């Protein structure tokens, strides 16, 4: 009996390994089918995306793909499925194929130095999207296109301070501890709120950017402070949407009894604003395609670019949400 | 019941009491239970309600651990069952009965898949359930395209936020699952067989117990419990969140079972202990959120309490401490 068990185990392991190979082969095949047919002097750009398994990443990818198609640029696209190793592999493949430029949306900040040096040695300019990299030599990339999270926090703070008439109690729903958007959105918000002595952040805890946790946290805040809470600041829309449910179940009217402001401006937030349940959201746009190709063309024309091109993120409120909701792409 | 069983429940009960007494003294209004709109309302109710998903999973996990196994795929099964319920509601006009039946059937099948790998193919429990833990969340994301699917269905919402005779309905579901599990394992031979399989699989095999089908059954049951939990979670936030619903909940459930006194060595299990364990974890979380403990301290505080409970669970440690105390007195 033991013998047969061993054999089945071996067979299973072999099948698993074969399956992995098959998946890998399929991925590479799909990456390379787009390789042919580069007629004339068409620009070729390689785009290494870290992950498309979330709406934000999907919107970003769509934006780059659409813009490439619009400008007649050939795009080689590789999805790294959250693995930095896959991104490094993809960049090496782009270098081997001698593309004209590389767009990189990095999964993490560190560990890019060697592969970016290879790209530089090959004379291929690298453009970073949505997140920076930690390198000692900043000539390894042309520019970074991303939102400024501190700015987003400040915009949320400015809007809220005015709406509250510069006095009242705020509770803060933080994102995942240690993540750069969490740190910066908190900092930016505090920059503004601390200017007004009558505005107080009375409670601040993490709900890890999750809707369910946002609801649970707001429930606890309401139990502790009740009607003392005048406003909620959430580091993303999902947590604000959870908080709205908690406020309703507590028996108060969201956006009326308690003012709610959040960051991201996803479509669900616009729906909540149209339903008059969310007051305001600050955009953090994933639509980086147009800006990225603009930067590329400027670079090729010999123009000098700043190291960080900040996204022009806007503030949307419930009064105007209905005008924008149909044009929102994420 | 034998005296022994009570003493192993003693320490978890003392811990739970200690957390509650702490709140009685230091958190104002923690024990206030009001009747609001005919519903029970208060922090204590919140604790029980928020512990529901972990309690239900811990019931299934207790059975798994009793057979010397482990199931780390439950968090992903939660995401899958919520996603299935959401697409059925959004795309078909099927009645609530079918929505629940089909989602639970799928969860059961995923659990059965674990059981198949473990008992009939002989893969180790951690490895077998790791497959589904990793892949399952991907399956849920595929079903919903990575987006949170919102469910607007009054009857479905009842599962998570409805009240029955003033008591949150999710608590009643937990009670039903507990009573059925208790009755089946205590009044039939199944409980004894599970203990035998966990205590000594070889001896059980030679006494004619169908070890394989028992193991298969406990994993399928664990999958079913995760499915129930998934429905409650998605009903609570009125949406299926494929990326975050039930994320890391398997760790809380395992912790609850261990705090409750069920040893990893298999054979013995304490169903009621697991319920107490879940309540300890949740009352800790709710206390931290209600009191507004700074984010940086949250995990450390949790770890310290868990450490103390686990240490006191150890009979060896208790004996040493008691001996030391006696010596001092003499």
The predicted structure's pLDDT at residue A26: 54
Calculate the CA dihedral of residues B96, B99, B100, B101 and round it to 10 degrees: 120
Vertex B117 angle, CA B115 and B118, to 5°: 65
> Tokens representing B76?
């992903």
The predicted structure's pLDDT at residue B157: 94
pLDDT band, residue A244 (cuts 50/70/90): very high
Asked if A212 and B161 come within 8 Å (Cβ–Cβ), the reply is no
* Secondary structure class of A156 (helix, strand, coil): helix
CA distance B56 to B58: 5
Extended beta strands in B25-79, E state: 34-36, 39-41
| CA B149 and chain centroid, separation | 24
**A217: chain B residues, CB-CB within 8 Å:** 289
CA distance A137 to B110: 50
Q: Which of A188, A177, A58, A180 is nearest to A110 (CA)?
A: A180
CA distance B152 to B49: 21
With beta carbons less than 8 A apart as the criterion, state whether A200 and B19 touch: no
**A251: chain B residues, CB-CB within 8 Å:** 36-37
Q: Which of B104, B111, B103, B97 is nearest to B84 (CA)?
A: B103
CA distance B72 to B129: 6
> Tokens representing A253?
């009217």
Which chain A residue lies closest to B295 (C-alpha atoms)?
A: A205
CA distance B14 to B8: 11
Select the residue from A20, A174, A205, A244 to test the B interface by mutation, using most B Cβ atoms within 10 A: A205
At residue A89, φ and ψ (nearest 5 deg) are -60, -45
Vertex A199 angle, CA A198 and A201, to 5°: 135
B51 touches chain A (CB under 8 A): no
Asked if B146 and A223 come within 8 Å (Cβ–Cβ), the reply is no
pLDDT band, residue A297 (cuts 50/70/90): very high
Following DSSP, what letter does each residue of A36-100 receive, concatenated?
A: S---TT--EEEEEES--SSHHHHHHHHHHHHHHHHHT-EEEEEE-TT-HHHHHHHHHHHHHTT-S
pLDDT band, residue A12 (cuts 50/70/90): low
The predicted structure's pLDDT at residue A30: 47
B73 touches chain A (CB under 8 A): no
Asked if A245 and B50 come within 8 Å (Cβ–Cβ), the reply is no
**pLDDT digit string (tens) for A17-56?**
666 655 655 555 444 444 434 445 789 999 999 887 777 8
**B142: chain A residues, CB-CB within 8 Å:** none
The predicted structure's pLDDT at residue A31: 44
From A58, A215, A223, residue closest to B237, measured CB to CB = A215
Helix/strand/coil (H/E/C) assignment for every residue in B250-306: HHHHHHHHHHCCCCCCCCCCCHHHHHHHHHHHHHHHHHHHHHCCCHHHHHHHHHHHH
Residues in chain B predicted with pLDDT less than 50, given as ranges, are 1-4
């Amino acid at each position: 009996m033991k013998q047969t068990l061993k054999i089945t185990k071996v067979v299973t392991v072999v099948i698993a390994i074969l399956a992995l190979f098959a998946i890998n082969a399929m991925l590479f095949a799909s990456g390379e089918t787009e390789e042919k047919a580069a007629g004339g002097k068409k620009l070729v750009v390689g785009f290494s995306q870290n992950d498309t398994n979330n709406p934000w990443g999907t919107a970003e990818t769509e934006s780059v793909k659409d813009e490439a198609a619009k400008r007649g640029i050939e795009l080689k696209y590789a999805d790294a499925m959250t693995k930095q190793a896959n991104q490094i592999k993809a960049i090496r493949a782009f270098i081997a194929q001698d593309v004209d430029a590389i767009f990189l949306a990095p999964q993490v900040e560190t560990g890019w130095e060697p592969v970016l040096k290879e790209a530089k040695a090959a004379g291929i300019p690298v453009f970073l999207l949505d997140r920076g990299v930690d390198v000692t030599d900043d000539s390894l990339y042309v520019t970074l296109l991303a939102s400024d999270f501190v700015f987003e926090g400040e915009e949320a703070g400015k809007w809220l301070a005015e709406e509250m008439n510069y006095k009242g109690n705020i509770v803060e729903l933080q994102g995942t501890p240690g993540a750069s958007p969490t740190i910066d959105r908190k900092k930016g918000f505090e920059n503004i709120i601390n200017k007004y002595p009558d505005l107080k952040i009375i409670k601040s805890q993490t709900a890890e950017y999750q809707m369910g946790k946002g609801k649970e946290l707001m429930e606890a805040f309401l139990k502790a402070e009740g009607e003392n809470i005048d406003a909620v600041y959430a580091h993303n829309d999902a947590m604000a949407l959870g908080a709205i449910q908690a406020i309703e179940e507590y028996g108060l009217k969201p956006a009326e009894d308690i003012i709610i402001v959040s960051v991201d401006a996803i479509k669900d937030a616009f729906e909540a604003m149209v339903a008059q349940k969310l007051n305001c959201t600050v955009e953090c746009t994933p639509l980086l395609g147009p800006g990225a190709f603009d930067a590329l063309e400027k670079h090729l024309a010999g123009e000098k670019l700043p190291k960080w091109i900040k996204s022009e993120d806007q503030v949307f409120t419930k009064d105007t949400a209905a005008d924008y909701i149909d044009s929102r792409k994420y | 019941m034998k005296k022994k069983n009570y003493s192993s429940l003693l320490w978890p009960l003392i811990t739970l009491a200690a957390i509650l007494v702490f709140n009685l003294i230091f958190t104002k209004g923690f024990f206030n239970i009001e009747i609001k709109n005919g519903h029970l309302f208060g922090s204590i109710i919140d604790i029980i309600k928020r512990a529901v998903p972990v309690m239900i999973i811990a019931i299934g996990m207790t059975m798994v651990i009793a057979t010397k196994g482990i199931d780390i795929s439950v968090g992903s099964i939660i995401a899958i069952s919520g996603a299935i319920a959401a697409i059925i509601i959004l795309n078909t006009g099927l009645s609530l009965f079918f929505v629940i039946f089909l989602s639970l059937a799928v969860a059961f099948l995923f659990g059965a898949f674990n059981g198949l790998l473990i008992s009939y193919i002989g893969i180790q429990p951690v490895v077998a359930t790791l497959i589904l833990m990793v892949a399952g969340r991907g399956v849920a994301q595929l079903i919903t395209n990575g987006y949170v699917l919102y469910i607007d269905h009054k009857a479905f919402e009842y599962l998570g936020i409805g009240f029955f005779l003033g008591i949150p309905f999710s608590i009643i579901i937990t009670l039903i699952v507990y009573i059925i599990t208790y009755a089946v394992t205590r009044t039939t031979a199944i409980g004894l067989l599970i203990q035998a399989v966990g205590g000594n699989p070889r001896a059980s095999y030679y006494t004619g117990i169908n070890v394989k089908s028992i193991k298969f059954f406990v994993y399928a049951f664990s999958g079913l419990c995760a499915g129930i939990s998934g429905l409650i979670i998605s009903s609570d936030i009125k949406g299926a969140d494929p990326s975050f619903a039930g994320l890391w909940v398997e760790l809380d459930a395992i912790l609850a079972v261990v705090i409750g006194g069920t040893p990893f060595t298999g054979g013995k299990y304490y169903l009621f202990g697991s319920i107490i364990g879940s309540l300890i974890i949740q009352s800790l979380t709710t206390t931290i959120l209600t009191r507004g403990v700074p984010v940086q301290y949250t995990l450390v505080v949790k770890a310290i309490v868990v450490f103390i409970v686990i240490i006191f669970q150890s009979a060896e440690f208790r004996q040493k401490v008691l001996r030391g105390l006696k010596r001092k007195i003499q």
